[in-house]
Amino acid sequence: MSEQLVELDELRARFAAQFAAATSSSELEVLEREALAKGGALAAVSRGLGALGPDQRKEVGAHLHEVRTELTGMLRERREDLLRRERTARLEAERIDLTEVVGAPTVGHEHLVTRTQRELEDVFLGMGFSVVEGPEVEDDWHNFEALNFPPGHPARSSWDTFHVSLGDCDDVLLRTHTSPVQVRTMESQRPPIYVVAPGQVYRRETPDARHLAVFHQIEGLVVDRGITFGDLAGCVDTFTQAYFGEGIHARLRPGFFPFTEPSAELEVVCLFCRGEGCRTCSRTGWIELGGCGMVDPNVFAAVGIDPEEYTGFAFGFGIERFAQLRHDINDMRVMLDNDVRFLSQF
Ligand code: 2NL
């Protein structure tokens, strides 16, 4: 076999291998120039044809054509293959994933204190009470005077109360309890009265684990003929069992409030030890929830209700305290922080 035929076979084998090994269309383009272009390997063989005799030239020429055709075909196939891959890779890289899951939109929910307030309202609604609301900015008369606080009472001082500065008018304040709502109710409607007044109240306190300057209360008021201290005791025991569960009883201990006489502190059996005595209840077996008592006749006189005809009882609870007990929260300040790590737990 002639030297040129051997060379052509070698060229064919070499380029076939290189085309197959090319990893990009641009690499393939370089190889194409090396193999098939004017200054390429096959062109060099072609240039040598003139130096051969007629028979050999014909034989080598035919083989050259064959090799060129073969390599051209391989090149086309390989180019198509590489371009297809490159296109796929580019599309993949540029892809915008329209199917991406962004998660369901999150919807907020009521604050723990608001929810606790609604739950307490529900219990009282179930017991036949109505819910009443009133202003958070009050006058001295509705917040103190009508409730039998004597003029020099310490609660009325600027140490305990936020007073609103309005120039000449110096008796406006942020309510320190929701009792003024009940005073307004007694002013505007005749007995029988069975109401609870929930809402935000304000005291000049330095916040700590068990006190806030802004907190929530729910107070209750019953005014009717023949209401006794026994009705009060039955009402608060019914309430505590309805809210905390059967067997969680209330007890009353003597106490003092200017607006009730007699007055009592209201306690429930410790929810954690059921009366055995533990750390939460300071080993007493009881937890203080609020206060209560029979409405003082002076309060009735202030709102024009005849204390000879009507008697009544009232009670007051701190709403944060209920949330704290039910959810075992040791520092009340978290209720005002608005930290979602706290809020989203409820
Ligand atoms: C407590 C104690 C109490 C009342 C609130 C009241 C309202 C009127 C008349 C008489 Cl209009 N009393 N409210 C009575 C006793 C106690 O709250 O420790 N609250 C957190």
Locate 322 and state its tokens: 């209920």
Tell me if 266 CB under 6 Å of ligand 1: no
Atom from ligand 1 closest to the CA of residue 186? 11
At residue 114, the pLDDT reads 96
What whole-number distance in Å separates Cα of residue 122 and Cα of residue 205? 30
Q: What angle do CA 84, 86, 89 make, to 5 degrees?
A: 110
Q: What residues form DSSP beta bridges with 295?
A: 260
pLDDT in tens, 278-308: 887 889 999 889 999 999 999 999 999 999 9
- At 223-278, the pLDDT tens digits run 999 999 999 999 999 999 999 999 888 899 999 999 999 999 999 988 888 889 88
Of all protein residues, the one whose alpha carbon is nearest to atom 15 of ligand 1 is: 292
Q: Is 123 in the pocket of ligand 1 (CB under 6 A)?
A: no
pTM above 0.75, yes or no: no
Query: pLDDT tens digit string along 76-115?
Result: 999 999 999 999 999 989 888 788 788 888 888 999 999 9
286 lines ligand 1 (CB under 6 A): no
Whether 125 and 156 have beta carbons less than 8 Å apart is answered as no
Ligand 1 pocket, 215 CB below 6 A? no
Q: How far apart are CA 112 and CA 327, in angstroms?
A: 10
- For residue 217, which atom of ligand 1 is closest to its CA? 20
pLDDT digits (tens, 9 = 90+) for 137-195: 999 999 999 999 988 888 787 678 899 888 877 789 999 999 999 999 999 999 999 99
Mutate which of 179, 194, 203 for ligand 1 pocket (most atoms within 8 A of beta carbon): 179
Pick from 136, 250, 128: which is nearest to 195 by CA? Answer: 128
Q: Please say whether the beta carbons of 149 and 161 come within 8 A.
A: no
pLDDT at 328: 85
Take residue 301 and report the two structure tokens written for it.
């006189």
Nearest residue (by CA) to ligand 1, atom 5, is 316
Average pLDDT of the chain is 92
**Tens digit of pLDDT for each residue in 24-58?**
999 999 999 999 999 889 888 888 888 888 889 89
Among residues 346, 333, 117, 302, the alpha carbon closest in space to that of 207 is found at: 333
- Asked if residues 259 and 179 have their Cβ atoms less than 8 Å apart, the reply is yes
